Chain A
Amino acid sequence: MDSTQIKPAHERKLRNKTSFRQSVRNSFIMAIRGLIKIRRTPEQLFDVTLQPIIFTLMFTYIFGGAISGDVQSYLPVIIPGILVQTVITTSIVTGVQLREDMDKGVFDRFKSLPIARIAPLAGALLADSIRYTIATVLTFTMGYVMGLRPEGGLGYVLIAALLVIGCAWAISWIFAFFGVIARTASSVQGISMIVLFPLTFLSNAFVPAETMPDWLQWFVKINPISHLVTAVRDLINAGSIGWDFTLSLVGAAIIVAIFAPLTVRTYMRKA
C-alpha cells in the first residue's frame, strides 16, 4: 500500500455496463461461494440426503401392494414420483437461504461491487443445483438398491435426471421471488409449502390419476408436476421422449421467462 500509489479516478477506464461474459463469470464465482458454504455446513444437506432415502422406503412399502400389486412393479411408478417431489421440494431452500443471505451484511458488499447485479441471485441458484443433483442421485440409487432396473437404460436415466434438475432450477426462481419479497426466512418456507404441497400430492406422482374422482382428475391432468412425472416415467421406463417432455421444458422456460426478470427487478429495487 505504501509503495503502490492508487490510480486517480480520472485515469481509470470505466464502463457503466457489465458485459454478458462478466455476468456469467460473476455468477459462477458466486456459485463457488455457495459451494464453499455447503462444504462448511454439511448439515444443511440433510433434506436432500434423508428425504430421498426415507420417502422411497416409506412410499414404496406403504403403497406398493395397494397400487401395483407388489413392490417390484410399483418401483417404475413411484421412483419418478418421489424424484420429482423431492427435487422440487428442495428448490424451496433456495428462497429460504436467499432471504437469510440478503439479510446479512455481506449482501451490501455484493451490491456495492462493480459486478453483474444478477450474480448473487444466479450464483445462489446455480449452487443449489448441486442439491438437486444429490437428491437425484440418491433417489435413483435407492431405487436401484430396491430392485429398479430402468428399461430405458442409463442414457435415458441421465436425460431424466437433467430434466428434473433443470425444471427444479426453473421452479426455484419462483421461490427466489418469494425470498426476495418476503420479510423473514420462515415466511418463505411457509408460503412455499402451501404452494407446493397440493401441487405435488394432487398429481400422478404416487397414485395413477385414473383412480381419482373426475373433478380431481381434471386438476391432476393439467398439473404441470404430473407432466414432469410422466415425462420422467416415459424416459426411464421406455426410453421415449414424448409430449410431456416438451411440455415440461416449455413450462420451465415460461417460469424462468416470467420469474427471472420479476425476481431480478424486485431484488434490485429492494437493493
Chain B
Amino acid sequence: MQKNNKNNNTKGSGEWAVEAKGIVKTFGENRAVDGVDLQVPTGSIYGVLGPNGAGKTTVIRMLATLLRPDAGSASIFGHDVVKEPHIVRQLIGVTGQYASVDESLSATENLMIFSRLLGLGKAEAKKKADELLEEFGLTEAAKRPLKHFSGGMRRRLDLAVSLIAQPPLIFLDEPTTGLDPRTRNQMWDTIRRLVKSGSTVLLTTQYLQEADELADRVAVIDHGQVVAEGTVNELKASIGTSSLHLGVQHDRQMQDARLIVERVLNVRSTVSTEGGKITAPMADVDRMTDLLIALRESDIQLAELSVQKPSLDEVFLTITGQGAGSSDEINNKSEKAVEV
C-alpha cells in the first residue's frame, strides 16, 4: 500500500509516514523512552506493542509534538516534529489513552468547537458534527453531557474528533483498552475503514491479538526500547506456538490419552504434577480435529480441554530472554484478550 509517487520529489512525499531515529525521553532518572527507531510506511496500520509502562504513550506524545524528545529526531511525512511542529499538527489526529475530549461539553458541542478551531465556519461545523455523530452512532446521545457516556461512546467521540480534519496520519493510544468485545470489534472495523480511505494509523496496544488483527507491521517495545520489529507473521514465527492443555475424566486413561496426543500431534507432552493435566505444544490448531476424533475412538472421556496462545509474557520471554518488566496483571490481561 505504499505510495511511491515518482514525479513528486517535494518534501513530505516520502514513503514514511513516521520516521523516528533514536528518540529518547527521560523523566528524572527514568529513561521512559530509550532510543526508539520507528519507520511507519504510508497507508499502513502500524502497531506498537508493549506492556504497561513500556513507554508507548511517551513515544506517541513525542511524535504528536506534545513532548519534546531529549535526543534523537522524528519526522512526520518528512516534517521534523521539533522544527516544524505546526505543520506536523496539520497532518495528524491524536486520540490519547485517556479521553481527550471536553468532559463538560456535550458530544455535539465538542465536535463543533473542535471543527471551528480547525477553521470551519459555523454551518460547515454543524454539518461536520452531524456527519461524524451519525457515522459513529452517537446521534442519539449527541446532546447528553459526557458524564453519562460509556467508555465505548467516549472513545468513539474521541476518534470522531480526531477525524474532523481528515488527517493523513492518526495516532491511537490503546484504542480498545477497557472496551467490551463488541465495541472493540466496532473500533477495529473503524480503524480498517480509515486505512482504506487513505489514512495511516499508528496504534499502541498491550494485546498481541489486537496487533495480530490489525497491524501490518509491529514494533514490540519494553523498558523504552524496541525489542522486536517486523510483520506480524515474522513476529509470530519468533514467539513459538500455542499450547494444548488437556485433562481426562478417569485417571487410568491418562497414559493412553498422552500417547494419542503425542502420536497425533507428533510432539512430546508433559503431565503437570498437581492437576494431572497433559500439556503439549501445538503448532497447528487444525490438528485438533484429528486429535478429538482419535480420543473418541479410544473411548477417552475428557474433563477439560483448552488451547492457549502465547501470552505477552511469553512473547517477551522469547524475544528478550527475560520476562516482561511487570507483573501478572499484564499477563492476565493479554490472556483475557486472546481468549475472547
Give the residues in chain B near A111, CB-CB below 8 Å.
Answer: 65-66
Give the residues in chain A near B114, CB-CB below 8 Å.
Answer: 109, 113
Give the one of A18, A30, A33 with max B CB within 10 A: A33
A-B pairs with beta carbons under 8 Å apart, 7 shown: A10-B5, A17-B86, A29-B116, A36-B109, A40-B105, A106-B99, A114-B90
Give the residues in chain B near A8, CB-CB below 8 Å.
Answer: 3, 13, 42, 168, 198
The B212-247 residues at the A interface (CB cut-off 8 A) are none
Question: How far does the Cβ of A121 sit from chain B's closest Cβ, in whole Å?
Answer: 14
Q: List chain A positions with a Cβ less than 8 A from chain B.
A: 1-2, 4-10, 12, 14-18, 22, 26, 29-30, 32-33, 36-37, 40-41, 104-106, 108-109, 111-115, 119, 271
Residue in chain B with minimal CB distance to A37: B104
Given contacts A109-B100, A111-B66, contact A6 B198 (CB under 8 A): yes
- Bound together, the chains give a CA A112 to CA B66 distance in angstroms of 6
Answer whether residue B91 sits at the interface, using C-beta atoms and an 8 A cutoff: yes
Q: List chain B positions with a Cβ less than 8 A from chain A.
A: 3, 5, 8, 10-13, 17, 42, 61, 64-66, 76-79, 84-87, 89-92, 94, 96, 98-105, 109, 113-114, 116-119, 135, 145, 161, 163, 165-169, 193-194, 196-199
Give the one of A30, A40, A112 with max B CB within 10 A: A112
Question: How far does the Cβ of A136 sit from chain B's closest Cβ, in whole Å?
Answer: 25
User: Are the C-beta atoms of B113 and A32 separated by less than 8 Å?
Assistant: yes
Give the residues in chain B near A10, CB-CB below 8 Å.
Answer: 5, 8, 10-13, 77
Q: A9-B168, A108-B66 are in contact. List 4 more A-B contacts (CB 8 A).
A: A1-B193, A9-B76, A32-B116, A109-B96
Give the residues in chain A near B8, CB-CB below 8 Å.
Answer: 10
Give the residues in chain A near B91, CB-CB below 8 Å.
Answer: 9, 12, 14
Question: How far does the Cβ of A28 sit from chain B's closest Cβ, in whole Å?
Answer: 9
Residue in chain A with minimal CB distance to B194: A1
- Bound together, the chains give a CA A215 to CA B10 distance in angstroms of 71
- Bound together, the chains give a CA A271 to CA B118 distance in angstroms of 20
Give the residues in chain B near A115, CB-CB below 8 Å.
Answer: 117-118
Residue in chain A with minimal CB distance to B132: A1
User: Are the C-beta atoms of B100 and A106 separated by less than 8 Å?
Assistant: yes
Question: How far does the Cβ of A38 sit from chain B's closest Cβ, in whole Å?
Answer: 10
User: Which one, A2, A29, A32, contacts B193 given CB within 8 A?
Assistant: A2
User: Are the C-beta atoms of B113 and A7 separated by less than 8 Å?
Assistant: no
- Bound together, the chains give a CA A106 to CA B116 distance in angstroms of 16
User: Are the C-beta atoms of A33 and B102 separated by less than 8 Å?
Assistant: yes
User: Are the C-beta atoms of B104 and A41 separated by less than 8 Å?
Assistant: yes
User: Are the C-beta atoms of B116 and A6 separated by less than 8 Å?
Assistant: no
User: Are the C-beta atoms of B87 and A15 separated by less than 8 Å?
Assistant: yes
Give the residues in chain B near A119, CB-CB below 8 Å.
Answer: 117
Give the residues in chain A near B86, CB-CB below 8 Å.
Answer: 15-18, 114
Question: How far does the Cβ of B263 sit from chain A's closest Cβ, in whole Å?
Answer: 51
User: Which one, B12, B101, B117, contacts A113 given CB within 8 A?
Assistant: B117
Give the residues in chain A near B89, CB-CB below 8 Å.
Answer: 112-114
User: Are the C-beta atoms of B169 and A4 separated by less than 8 Å?
Assistant: no
Give the residues in chain A near B161, CB-CB below 8 Å.
Answer: 109
User: Are the C-beta atoms of A33 and B194 separated by less than 8 Å?
Assistant: no
User: Are the C-beta atoms of A40 and B100 separated by less than 8 Å?
Assistant: no
Give the residues in chain A near B197, CB-CB below 8 Å.
Answer: 1-2, 4-6
- Bound together, the chains give a CA A22 to CA B120 distance in angstroms of 12
Question: How far does the Cβ of B61 sit from chain A's closest Cβ, in whole Å?
Answer: 8
Question: How far does the Cβ of A25 sit from chain B's closest Cβ, in whole Å?
Answer: 8
Give the residues in chain A near B17, CB-CB below 8 Å.
Answer: 9
Give the residues in chain B near A6, CB-CB below 8 Å.
Answer: 166-168, 197-199
User: Are the C-beta atoms of B96 and A105 separated by less than 8 Å?
Assistant: yes
